[in-house]
Structure 1
């Protein structure tokens, strides 16, 4: 989808139910939002504690003092960054409002979810210094021996005092695992061809996302990690507005909505993301 900028607008708010449905579908479409913990995010940001180590219990004798052990904590600041998309429509969509709403709900969530996931997974530049990405996390190769690479990722997360409790796979990552077989040529990660899905890997749930693919040498096809160490937050969900008076700039093309019998819908979220990057591994395939 092209990047479109709206430089003049007379906006009309759409029904709140449309915004709510778009936000719900954005969360469903995003692997990161499906796996990470959600928190409310104030407009000015918030300082969140990051747990670096748990307190340790110890045995004590009768009437002996219990040991005092403090958890190791750090702090990070999460601030909201704006993520938006504008989609133009012909005026014919206005003839039937349910059709318009359906079209908006179908097109908007995927664009927002994909860009958010791409940014978290390092396929797009972070919007600022207070937005964490997994671009530089430890890599495990799964193209040659998928099972060995997945176990290595699980072990590395454990070495950093985490528990690998979720995977985010790109469609290409799913294909790698579907092709993985044992010595007798039986698939490792599915029960049957008819099933065709990979709901769990090494006991942890799997979410799919196009944003989990990062082209490179080698390609990144997925991620695994301890998602209790990842947090995202939004200020007020998705804001939706509609305009038929704006001028849009789509690359080198200028669109005057009024002159061309069109209107545009803008979806915007103010969102932040923070995590302990040591608790994640990326999966690569040459």
Structure 2
């Protein structure tokens, strides 16, 4: 008989691949919650490594006199290699969940899995927090390497500082195409005005995308953000790439002790003692940045500054 996730209970199938339909829903939810997957360009990956070429600079054009030969110039194409890493989440649940069918179980777990994936991926991609992709790969690490930072309060008002952040990228002859920040910074954006006293923040309402100075704003879950390093990031996000090469896999344990998760008594959860099970889900995800001059940050005011 063919495997059918509608008919098989979790207690009878404690390891395996997440069913395609449910895995697709989780991935779509993850990609909706992650600001990086919304801003970065997707690279299709069939394996855990992928080499691809990208246009670093285009060919030049020349004025040509009548009868003269047209000069030629080469476009600069560079090769990059993206390597995916395994992203995993462990979720403790009561044993009653084992009586769910595989399909229903992952339908129930979808929000928790996708949120956990989005939080961890955005942390690594934006700030390099617990990043498996190597040093200097995250957006903020590239910003620090280039020195593309403007301090909040350093130019007198937020309008000038955001304009300054944008100009840092334009100086490299690149066009920024989006801001990313947290909702806690939304109040500052909403109160900012230009030199004519007009608001620079636009909120169309009804769930539409906010914008400032003509650039859309993507909001990150505050848990994914390093508030000590930046208030806001911007850049040409075409210079960030991500890929998802294979389906999700899962395993269920009934006897492990979860050292990183504590119960109400402050002690690590022992699944056997507490009659619980733990779901582990893993997924390969790749990420890389392609330029160090394509991003800039608005950073916190120096301690003691009168911003």
| TM-score normalised by L of structure 1 | 0.82
Q: Residue 163 of structure 1 contacts residue 226 of structure 1 at CA under 8 Å; is this kept in 2?
A: yes
Contact 2:124 2:130 in 1 (8 A): yes
- Alpha carbons of 1:196 and 1:13: their partners in 2 closer, same or farther (altered >3 Å)? closer
CA distance, structure 2, for counterparts of residue 130 and residue 47 of structure 1:
19
Residue 5 of structure 1 corresponds to which residue in structure 2?
none
State the Cα distance separating 1:157 from its structure 2 match: 0.9
| Of 81, 90, 99, the match for 1:86 | 90
Q: CA deviation at 1:72?
A: 2.4
For 2:209 and 2:151, locate their aligned partners in 1 and report how far apart those are by CA, in whole Å. Answer: 19
The residue aligned with 2:4 is none
Residue 44 to residue 96, structure 1, CA distance change in 2 (3 Å): closer
Structure 2 residues without counterparts, runs of 5 or longer: 1-12, 302-307
Superposed displacement of residue 260, structure 1:
3.5
Aligned match of 2:288: 274
Per-residue deviation at 1:224? Answer: 0.6
Measure the CA separation in 1 of the matches of 2:237 and 2:52. 15
| Higher percent of residues as strand | 1
Stretches of structure 1 lacking an aligned partner (at least 5 in a row): 1-8
Distance of aligned partners of 1:30 and 1:131 in 2 relative to their CA distance in 1, 3 Å threshold: farther
1:103 alignment partner in structure 2: 108
Indicate the residue corresponding to 1:199 in structure 2: 210
1:53 and 2:53 correspond = no
1:182 shift after superposition: 5.1
Q: Does 1:178 align with 2:190?
A: yes
- How many residues align structurally? 274
Would you say the 8 A contact 1:50–1:73 is kept in 2?
A: yes
Partners of 1:232 and 1:191 in 2: CA distance: 29
CA distance in 1, matches of 2:135, 2:242: 12
Residue 99 to residue 271, structure 1, CA distance change in 2 (3 Å) = closer
RMSD: 3.0
1:17–1:195 CA distance, 2 compared to 1 (3 A): closer
**Match among 271, 276, 283 for residue 262 of structure 1:** 276
Structure with more contact order per residue of length (Cα contacts < 8 Å, sep ≥ 6): 1
CA distance in 2, matches of 1:149, 1:271: 34
- Alignment pair present for 1:164 and 2:176: yes
1:3 counterpart residue number? none
Aligned to 1:119: 124
Aligned counterpart, 2:3: none
Choose from 170, 184, 208 the match for 2:219: 208
Shift in Å, 1:222: 1.9
Contact kept in structure 2, 1:172 and 1:213, CA below 8 Å:
no
1:132 is aligned, of 114, 132, 137, to 137
The answer to whether residue 305 in structure 2 is matched with residue 283 in structure 1 is no
Whole-Å separation in 2 of the counterparts to 1:60 and 1:265? 67
Query: Per the alignment, in what secondary structure is the counterpart of residue 236 of structure 1?
Result: coil
C-alpha contact 2:48 2:245 (8 A) present in aligned 1: no
The answer (yes or no) to whether the contact 1:26–1:112 under 8 Å persists in 2 is yes
